[in-house]
Structure 1
Amino acid sequence: MKRNIKYLFLVLLIGIMPSCKEEFLEETNPNETATDNYWSDLNDTNAGLNAAYSSLLNHFVLSITEEAWKSDMGWPGYGRPTPTATAEGVSWYYKTYTDGTNSIRQKWEGCYLGIFRANQVIEALDNLEGTVNEEEWKIQMGQARFLRGLLHFYLYSTYNKGEIIIRDFVPRSQEDFNKGLSPAAEVLTFFRADLDFAYKNLPAKYEENVKTGRATAGAAATVLGTSYLHEGEIDLAIPLFEDVINNPEYGYKLVTDLDLLFTTAGEFNDESIFEIVYNEELRSDLGQWDEQSLSNRMVNNSVASTGFFTPAWLASKYKNEPMDPLDDRNYYIDPIAGKVQRNVPLRASAMVALIEDEQTLYYLTDNVSTNMKNSATGWGFALYKKYSNHDYLEDENDLPRGSWNSGKNVTVNRLADVYLMLAECYISKGQIAEALALINDIRARWGLILLGPSGGSTTRTYDNVVYTEATLMDHLMYVEKPLEMSVEGHATRWIDLRRWGKIGENFEKLSKETYYLVDYTHSKMDGTTATRFKSSLVLNPGALASITVDYEYDLTAANYNPELHDYLPIPSSEVVSNPNIK
């Protein structure tokens, strides 16, 4: 049923795409599609909404790959990048990007294209108000304003300290296009008004309680609450996050069936709040680099040598999380030794491929150890699984159009993040018990040791640490949030570190850490063993032959400059073409 709904949504979406290729940054008047004649009813505006949603297919809107390189969530390719390398991933990793960097321009243009399309729908709905079904009108307007608010929020959060262009109408002249930058406070007020309208007018669910790629009130509440948290407006964020978690009309809940997390079978699961819908077969005429393509490139970006890989510090934390000895899921039956603890924790198994993970099927034919793709000199000890099709393919090239064209959805917002954001709010209010309860709900579903006093529990293991605001916040910043939300959402890690004031300090800390790679001998499903050279990441290699991973983030820490890097610059293409950008 979920796959059918996804397919139907995409069929409706592509119906409008051929008429919505407005390259608005290059055209004198991109609105030549006679709005007075076209937007005649709610069917037309719904088609326009589909076009607005399709703008989210553009990989640069979220810039997951670039944000992984830019933050501490990824490094660019096998081997260590050299300071003189010219690949764009290296410029993000070493903080040498400029206002002329291609992906900075593409993100800017991609977001504003989506805003343009949303404004078309908003204008058309304004003209239809009072002449069409009122309830459907409100739902469509809520979606259009959600998308416009969302994309302004993305731009505000990443460019020029929030001073961006507010585009609140469909431009019809060159003067309309050449708007100047607005103060950050005005931008904030503008997009929050859109998100608030969406929150008050969108449904909790759509027909038959089946999720699609359409925005809901829960999605609007999540994004609006996130904007309040980012600005430190905790008292305004809390009720929105509590509504998302506790309101039964949404039906959100943490997923405990681990086969439904980061898998194709788990698309639109109960934890998902907002997803971007992809398909590997439809619109095969659009190539993999066409940002209107319905397929996504995130598989290759997260497992190929040109993409981003799990950095050493994060891989180490994943594999060394303490497993709860009272949770039976943390054990397997060895034919010789009997009941034995898993090699790596469940959270690690779900999110990354680690060479030690012999208990998890990976690409169907054998375990992770067998199917890990690492280079001859190591550097392949951990790969992200969130965007791969390891759960139902033997090889990514088995996709109908090859490994660059995946149909796996991208989950932008999910409930676990709301739990952690609300926990952060509670920490800031001194409500430690409430924060621990939320964090422990997430840790419990992964079979990890829980935080805080046990209270006499005989079914769960606790660390019995007395947490303060400072120590629990430290755990949230450096363990819980990065491990749970790695390479998800919109610039999640970078924005978090920036608002916590920890970017430079974090790079300095990581630059001083030393890791080693040693050989790993593993068991195969046929009963034989094999050795993968320099593939297991350790902190203390002892006498084992190894190579050292001791210069991650050294140059990054040296190059980081808050004034240059905390926010992206306005793209040079916009500065050159718009005389009102100073």
Structure 2
Amino acid sequence: MKKCSSYFIGFIVLFLTMQSCEEYLEETNPNAVSADVYWSSLIESNSNLTSVYGSMLSMFVLNLEVDAWRSDIGFPKSRRTPFGSGRPYYQKGFTDASNAIGQQWDALYQVAFRTNQVITGLNGMDEDLKSQEEWSHQMGQARLFRGLAHMWLNATYNNGNVIIRDFIPGTSDEFSVSVSSSDEVIAFFREDLKYAYDNLPAQFENKTRVDKGFAAALLGKSYLHTEEYTQAMVYLNDVIDNSEYGFELLEGDDVGLLFTHAGDFNSESIFEINYSDKHQVEDSNWDEESFFHRWARYTAPGGGRYGGRTDFVPTAWLTYEYSNEQMDSQDPRNYVDDGSGGVRFRSVPLRCAQFCQVVNDEESTYYGDTPANSAYAFGATIFSHFKKYTNHDIVAGEPETLVTGWKSHKNVVVQRLAEVYLNLAECQIKTGDLAGALENINTIRQRWGLVSLGLSDGSAHDFDEITYTAETLMDHLMYIEYPLELAAEGCNTRTTDLRRWGVAKERFTELATRVYHLANYTSNDGVTRNLSLIQEGPHPTAVPSITNTVMEHREAAENYVEALHDYFPLPLSETLNNQNAN
């Protein structure tokens, strides 16, 4: 069950204290937040703290589909007729006037403005209230979110040179603040995150609340991104080793809980956004503070009962890699009944089955069908689907969730422990500890039943028997482990990684040379799905055409310019309205 009762109670209290709930929720100008904050109790401040969590409900905070299009993991719908809204990001034709750029900017600063209201109110309390542990816990949560908003803004916009919002502006002059240097922004948000780390408990009873473990994960990631690997490892090791946080990787059969309703707030989840099918279901599809999101519709199959629109789907190379990772022959989870008294290998690896739906997955249930190919054709050059944000595990079609496929109450995982393991492995590669890096990467691979990297160590696992160097292991981490494990997660995660490694241009150039073709697939039950199975190389018999041949990222390879596309520019709306933004 969703652990959200206190979350919603807080919202109710918040709404009762506002002059106009409806006007407040529809307000788009973050400057409308009042600078006059006077609270006499921690109950009042907590209800306003909950409004910060409410601002995180906006889909524009994460912009998942845009990061997929911008990076190497997502294609805008059908290869025959790409989705129009995704083309500028996929083809690298976006500008400062592009909608998503302004929407994410406004959403992240809305988080910052809400936190500043809470921080101002808490600082205005008397000394008795300030001495209470609850005061420190509320301040820690507020400062974590303010730091998080600035961390994501720094990673996304204008070479990291963004506006520091650390107070509530009361006049237009106070709103017109110039950008700060990236170094100044990093110092600012790290101070907030360190305060949160020092003042938050290891975990709250209510898992919807952010805690010390999340602050540690963010700090570790921040230092990794500035190549301060030794400092990063302090926090990353803390997240993995500190039992007080309660974090554990899902392993064995429990891996099937990841990104399912049954797996809400599991031990691997560090922070997830809590949505609901019980509250404000009458809100508009486009209300960004409703308790539902549209990502299920954006990733579910289109047509028929599914109710999806498939705005973004896995790219060809990602789909192929998911489907063809080598399985560990010593892991019993990789064997299934062959129907004649024996066993055979699974049709696709466990990681693929959990994250990416493909036509040749014969074992997984997808929207009530086992296998999915018994009901869905995987045609029209849409040969795979992300599963992380759909309700495929509980309904036969998205409209069954809240009458319309536009409203999904599935939680959205922002950070989980697997990412911390991979972040730590990167630090270890960069500091010469290849054995440690292999151990952490293999921890992730082994929980999926995949062949381990490196030389055999006597354990009950298959190894690829390759002697890795720092360069080859880093290549594997960048181009296999990170994208397959974390595709379409977090805030601009993949785009940020390609940019910070300095490989975005060459990555698109290399992918543009790859040729795949679509083959017919006949299922174990004898159902044939034409042009549904992604394979490497040109089609062996048919004349290449847009329906059977897949080549991607060619426009990105041609158009990508680091100075223009590594970061989003400052939004046009900001430069027009903020006289000091330039």
Distance 2:142 2:296 in 1: 30
- Which residue in 2 is equivalent to 1:366? 370
Q: C-alpha separation between the residues in 2 aligned to 1:270 and 1:517? A: 39
Of residues 177, 182, 185, the one that matches 2:183 is 185
Q: Give per-residue Cα distances to partners, 1:517-538, cap 9 Å, x unaligned.
A: 01111145xxxx3211110111
**Deviation larger for 542-551 or 302-311:** 542-551
Is the 1:324–1:330 Cα contact (8 Å) retained in structure 2?
yes
TM-score (ref. length: structure 2): 0.93
Aligned counterpart for 2:325 among listed residues 321, 326, 333: 321
CA distance in structure 2 between the aligned counterparts of 1:14 and 1:523, rounded to whole angstroms: 53
2:250 to 234, 249, 255: 255
Q: Decide whether aligned partners of structure 1 residues 27 and 107 sit closer, same or farther in structure 2, where only a CA change above 3 A counts.
A: closer
Pair 1:92–1:198, CA change in 2 (3 A):
same
Deviations 1:338-375 (A, max 9, x none): 21111100000000001000111111232122244634
Kindly indicate whether the alpha-carbon contact (under 8 Å) linking 2:33 and 2:168 is maintained by their aligned counterparts in 1: no
Give the partner amino acid of 1:280.
Answer: D
3-state secondary structure, aligned to 1:536: strand
Task: Look up the match of 1:288.
Answer: 285
C-alpha change, 1:427 and 1:289, in structure 2 (3 Å) is same
Structure 1: segments with no counterpart, 5+ residues? none
Q: Does 1:418 align with 2:420?
A: yes
Q: Does residue 1:100 correspond to 2:101, yes or no?
A: no
Alignment of 1:219 onto 2:214? yes
In the TM superposition, 1:339-350 aligns within 5 A as 339-350=343-354
Q: Distance in 2 between matches of 1:319 and 1:114?
A: 38
Larger displacement relative to structure 2 (198-207 or 18-27): 18-27
Matches within 5 A, 1:154-169: 154-169=152-167
- Shift of the 531–185 alpha-carbon distance from structure 1 to 2, 3 Å rule, reads same
CA displacement at 1:334 relative to structure 2: 1.7
The corresponding residue for 1:450 is 452
Distance (whole Å) between structure 2 residues aligned to residue 575 and residue 451 of structure 1: 49
Task: Tell me the SS of whatever aligns to 2:188.
Answer: helix
| Distance 1:182-1:22 versus aligned 2 partners, 3 A rule | farther
Partner of residue 239, structure 1: 234
How many residue pairs get aligned? The number is 564
Q: How does 1:43-122 map to 2 (within 5 A)?
A: 43-81=43-81, 87-122=84-119
Residues of 2 paired with 1:63 and 1:253: CA distance?
Answer: 28
**Which string of whole-angstrom CA distances, capped at 9 and with x for unpartnered residues, describes residues 502-527 of structure 1?**
10000001100000001111145xxx
Shift of 1:14: 4.9
Gaps of 5+ in 2: 301-307
Letter in 1 for 2:155: S
Matched, 1:430 2:427: no
Q: CA offsets per residue over residues 309-340 of structure 1, 9 Å max, x none? A: 01100000001100011111111112237211
Matched to 2:363, the amino acid is Q
Farther off after superposition, 240-249 or 104-113: 104-113
Cα distance in structure 2, aligned partners of 1:558 and 1:73: 18
Q: 1:137 to 1:373 in 2, by over 3 A?
A: farther
Question: Aligned with 1:225: secondary structure?
Answer: helix
In the TM superposition, what are the counterparts of 1:345-356 in structure 2 within 5 Å?
Answer: 345-356=349-360
Partner of residue 41, structure 2? 41
- Displacement after TM superposition at 1:196 (Å): 0.4
Distance 1:399 1:57, change over 3 A: same
SS state of the match for residue 366, structure 1? coil
Identity of aligned pairs, percent?
42
TM-score (norm 1): 0.93
Q: Provide the secondary structure at the position in 1 that maps to 2:49.
A: helix
8 Å Cα contact 2:119-2:139 kept in structure 1: yes
1:27 is displaced (CA, Å) by 7.9
Q: Measure how far apart 1:24 and its partner are.
A: 6.9
Distance in 1, Cα, partners of 2:377 & 2:228: 45
Spell out, residue by residue over 1:121-155, the C-alpha distance to the aligned partner (whole angstroms, 9 max, x if none).
10111111522251001000000000000001111
In 2, Cα distance between equivalents of 1:14 and 1:151: 25
Q: Distance in 2 between matches of 1:334 and 1:393?
A: 28
The residue type equivalent to 2:135 in the other structure is W
Deviation at 1:545, TM superposition (A): 8.2
Residues in 2 aligned to 1:474 and 1:157: alpha-carbon distance in whole angstroms:
22
- Asked if the contact 1:145–1:195 (Cα under 8 Å) also holds between the matched residues in 2, the reply is yes
- Whether 2:394 is the aligned partner of 1:392: answer yes
Aligned partners of 2:386 and 2:138: how far apart in 1? 36
Q: Distance in 1 between matches of 2:286 and 2:9?
A: 21
Moved more, 238-247 or 285-294: 285-294
Distance in 2 (CA, whole Å) between partners of 1:453 and 1:348 is 25
CA distance in 2, matches of 1:10, 1:520: 48
Number of the residue aligned with 2:337: 333
Q: CA RMSD in A?
A: 1.8
Equivalents in 1 of 2:392, 2:79: separation in Å? Answer: 24
Instruction: Return 327-336 or 214-223, whichever deviates more.
Output: 327-336
